[in-house]
Structure 1
């Protein structure tokens, strides 16, 4: 026969996460600290934001993209903390704030003015400061969510397989050529967008990652030179996971976007054509490269780290 104590213990086992590496929760005026739970408070807050914002996104004409994705960021950060006993928000709140502030996605909105690969529906017709602020607030979640999900991907054991592979070595001249090629590919894409629009998701990586490597900043090329492909794999898959949620939450939203990608426009999953998901893989790499270029200029690259499985345990990212 079940008694109260056994039922309570069983329920606690479902939600309590026992890991001595994690900080113990303390509440003022409470004699004993609370035990460690399934998610830290930020993760629970994130779940609450998602539970509120997701249904609202389908029912109202106001843009709730920011609270929805802020909730997702908090949930992922909570899971990373649970799995690794550290997280980006714990290690460097300043870097997280910079990620939100950088107007990164506006680069792609500018490119899209020429390529016309996506259009927004359900948005307000006015183009005043309020609309600009709402859009900027929504776009601000892009870098943080890519970094957070990439760190979560990097916490799984399979990532260790990519820590010691064959080195991919580029000479200084080759890296300079790669950066120049990135500039040329970006220019060519803007001139012939109908055919070269996929370069939107490659050219920025070719431009900035070699520069990062040459200037001693964290870069994917530098990691691959040592045979370490974990960063590349984590950010490629991390962006792909983000892409799945972007498209899923976009499908039935009142304020949404629709695609027009020409010869690749077939076999849609949600609103995105199947081959379009391939663009998320290099998008993760160029997000990494562009952020570290800016962080390097500010002198903060060394503080932007993500935890990866394998040796060394924490890698500059």
Structure 2
């Protein structure tokens, strides 16, 4: 909490290097605060109880977002303003270090927010019928749809750029399901609608905070979004917020795909959805 308070107060005083590093500092503050709340309410949390997973989440998070940065070289949907102050030279090294640290907070933030929403017991009364049929043809078609989304985005990013926030889910979630990893498909099939909905809420809440804190940051990003760049809430057009829920599903699928490859694998399920 002190980290968040200091960051907000320093917004007015602009003490360097803290002002330039406002965004990652405040996000680590958020992660620590939410983890403490979750630990207080549940007796276990990501950092306090599964610290190795937290550290691996930081690494995987940075790798995932650098992938999106590569995609953005084609879509050009966002760009950055300013380079953080520091001692590393040349400037691109500072930029790389700053972005990597900032990117490392994305996945842990989603996980912590997800764990927090669990304590609210949201969607407890919403249930689906179990044993929905999931065929191999359906799974293949999902993967094919995801690949087509990426191809269309590469061919015409101006028209198909929204697909990047859901394409990897379509590709990886069926693979996770077939490899007996946790998957959104598996939860839907078994009538467990609560985990996907909670992830969706966690993604949307984090999206609001990402945009809110980015808006006041010294080192920040701006959007260049074709067709729907109207009615902005902070820097993000209002329709852009619809992408944060699916993005949480995409992160979920990416994590468990990496886990199936033994990248960051631990004896615990990362999001512990098996306990929901």
TM-score higher than 0.5 here? yes
Name the residue aligned to 2:29: 71
Whose RCO is larger (CA < 8 A, sep 6+)? Answer: 2
Between 1:120-129 and 1:257-266, the stretch displaced more is 120-129
Structure 1: segments with no counterpart, 5+ residues: 1-46
Instruction: Note closer, same or farther for the CA distance 1:307–1:80 as it changes in structure 2 (3 Å cut).
Output: farther
Report the alpha carbon displacement of residue 186 of structure 1 after superposing the two structures with TM.
0.9
Structure 1 residue 253 displacement after superposition = 1.4
1:280 equivalent among 230, 244, 247: 244
Deviations 1:139-183 (A, max 9, x none): 000000011101111221223124x31344421221122112211
Can you give the 5+ residue segments of structure 2 that lack an aligned partner in the other structure?
A: none
What is the match of residue 248 of structure 1?
212
Q: Cα–Cα, structure 1 residues 57 and 143, in superposed 2: closer, same or farther, change >3 Å? A: farther
What is the TM-score with the length of structure 1 in the denominator? 0.78
Q: How does 1:185-204 map to 2 (within 5 A)?
A: 185-204=149-168
Deviations 1:48-84 (A, max 9, x none): 1111223435625622322211110011111212222
**Is the alpha carbon distance of 1:232 and 1:301 closer, same or farther for their aligned partners in structure 2, counting shifts above 3 Å?**
farther
Aligned counterpart for 1:210 among listed residues 169, 174, 178: 174
What is the alpha-carbon distance in structure 2 between the residues aligned to residue 135 and residue 303 of structure 1? 29
Verify: 1:165 aligned to 2:109, yes or no.
Answer: no
Mark the CA change 1:55 to 1:119 in structure 2 (over 3 Å): closer, same or farther: farther
CA contact 1:84–1:307 (8 Å) conserved in 2? no
1:5-44 alignment, distance < 5 Å? none
Paired residue for 1:236? Answer: 200
Query: Which deviations, in whole Å up to 9, do the C-alpha atoms of 1:181-232 show, x marking residues without a partner?
Result: 2112112112111011110111010011111000011111111110101211
Instruction: Identify which of 174, 178, 185 aligns with 2:142.
Output: 178
Deviation per CA, 1:268-291: give whole Å up to 9, x if none: 111111100001010010011101
Change (3 A) 1:205 1:198: same
Q: Which residue of 2 aligns with 1:89?
A: 47
In 1, Cα distance between equivalents of 2:71 and 2:193: 29
Q: Specify the SS of the correspondent of 1:158.
A: coil
> Are residues 57 and 200 of structure 1, via their aligned partners in 2, closer, same or farther at CA, if it must alter by over 3 Å?
farther
| Contact preservation (8 Å) 1:178, 1:207 | yes
> Which residue number in structure 1 is paired with residue 268 of structure 2?
303
User: Is 1:133 matched up with 2:106?
Assistant: no
Structure 2 distance, partners of 1:203, 1:146, is: 19
TM-score by length of 2: 0.89
Conservation of the 8 A alpha-carbon contact between 1:154 and 1:230: no
Q: For the Cα contact (< 8 Å) 1:95–1:304, is it kept in 2?
A: no
Give SS of 1:51's match: helix
Any conservation in 2 of the 1:186–1:200 contact (CA below 8 Å)?
Answer: yes
Output the aligned Cα RMSD: 2.0
Q: Residue 70 of structure 2 aligns with which residue?
A: 110
Aligned length: 264
1:54 maps onto 2:54 in alignment: no
Supply the distance in 2 between the matched residues of 1:273 and 1:88 (Cα, whole angstroms).
32
Aligned-pair CA distance for 1:301: 6.1
Task: Indicate the residue corresponding to 1:8 in structure 2.
Answer: none
